[in-house]
Structure 1
Amino acid sequence: MKEMNLFSKPTTMSLLSLFSLISFLSLNLLPTPSSANMLTAYDVLKSYDFPAGLLPQGVTGYELDPKTGKFAAYLKGSCSFSIEGYQLRYKSTITGYISKGKLTQLKGVSVKILFIWINIIEVSMTGSDLEFSVGIASADFPIDNFDESPQCGCGFNCNNNNNKEKVRSIRGNPFLLSS
């Protein structure tokens, strides 16, 4: 029987066994982040001082580069609903850049003004209001209008939801009045 010397070259088989053991231990015994500890897209919005209701219910995931603020939020599919006379549409992927109180280069969210759909390209906080910009015009709405997330298809006026659409005093179409 051959004696094993601790200082001899390890065989390929023993290296493979050692690698397998290390892989098994690192995958099965080391702590992994649980879903309870991971932030949701709604939590991320709040961490940048935005209300969760900027996104509809049903966000399935998100990506965020904290260094640049580049983000993407994902829905199961496109989503549309009406709130207070406004028709909103979200694509299945919403992208842009986020910083404290400001969303810029926004893509994937649009509002119907008169008969055409116009992209909302920026959202910023001004005092206790959120300003939504479509490029040529902007409109301000109270932040507390966005405390709750609307539901795709029915907004806040859903049959299975006891929440009734909040009544807000908006005259006409502020996108047409603002610049």
Structure 2
Amino acid sequence: MSFSALLLLLLFSPTIGAVTGAPTAYEMLERFHFPEGLLPKGVIGYELDPSSGKFRADLNGSCSFSLEGSYQLNYQKTITGYISDGRLTELHGISVKVLFFWLNILNVVRVGDDIDFSVGVASASFSLDNFFVSPQCGCGLDCGDLRLRKLKLGKENPSLSSV
């Protein structure tokens, strides 16, 4: 095995990457000025081409949940797209239910303390505070331990009470 092949294996293998201290997918999101809560719990690995920003994140299965009882989200087992500072573009693998229709989330852009989600012809903006905690498949943020963590964050910092 050549040195470059070994280096690629070390960089992109989730198991070996954890041993070498490679950043997690959640830490990579933060490096691009996004909160970790854009991804649900359960990311088992990712790949990122630093020159193009093309990425792939793998979950341990497809994932669905509701947020605050109003938005239903669905993450496929594999999510792909491009990432740059404050921008996720050409996304595949994330959809949101609007009324009776499932729409693909195509772009996510950070604008100051807000995050804009685009489904093509329409978009919606939400406060960054809503994404500090990663949702859990099946129950979103209303799971036992996540709900307690949310409440504690809100008490420690009143500006986070809408999380």
| TM-score range for the pair, normalised by the shorter chain length | 0.7 to 0.9
Determine if the alignment matches structure 1 residue 157 to structure 2 residue 127.
Answer: no
Are the aligned partners of 1:157 and 1:163 in contact in 2 as well (CA < 8 Å)? Answer: no
Identity %, equivalent residues: 55
What are the ranges of 5 or more consecutive residues in structure 1 without an aligned counterpart?
1-25, 27-31, 170-179
Are the aligned partners of 2:25 and 2:45 in contact in 1 as well (CA < 8 Å)? Answer: yes
What are the ranges of 5 or more consecutive residues in structure 2 without an aligned counterpart?
1-5, 7-15, 152-159
Between structures 1 and 2, the one with greater helix share = 2
Structure 1 counterpart of 2:112, from 120, 123, 127: 127
Aligned to 2:36: 52
> 1:76 & 1:42 partners in 2: Cα distance?
15
Aligned to 2:54: 70
Are the aligned partners of 1:107 and 1:120 in contact in 2 as well (CA < 8 Å)? Answer: yes
Aligned to 1:139: 124
> 2:112 & 2:30 partners in 1: Cα distance?
16
Aligned to 1:102: 87
Distance 1:61 1:127, change over 3 A: same
CA RMSD of aligned residues (A): 2.1
Shift of 1:164: 4.9
> 1:73 & 1:56 partners in 2: Cα distance?
11
Q: Which runs of 4+ in 1 moved over 6 A?
A: none
Distance 1:167 1:113, change over 3 A: farther
> 2:150 & 2:134 partners in 1: Cα distance?
13
TM-score (normalised: structure 2): 0.79
TM-score (normalised: structure 1): 0.72
> 2:93 & 2:71 partners in 1: Cα distance?
16
1:145-169 CA-partner distances (Å, limit 9, x unpaired): 1011000000111135433588649
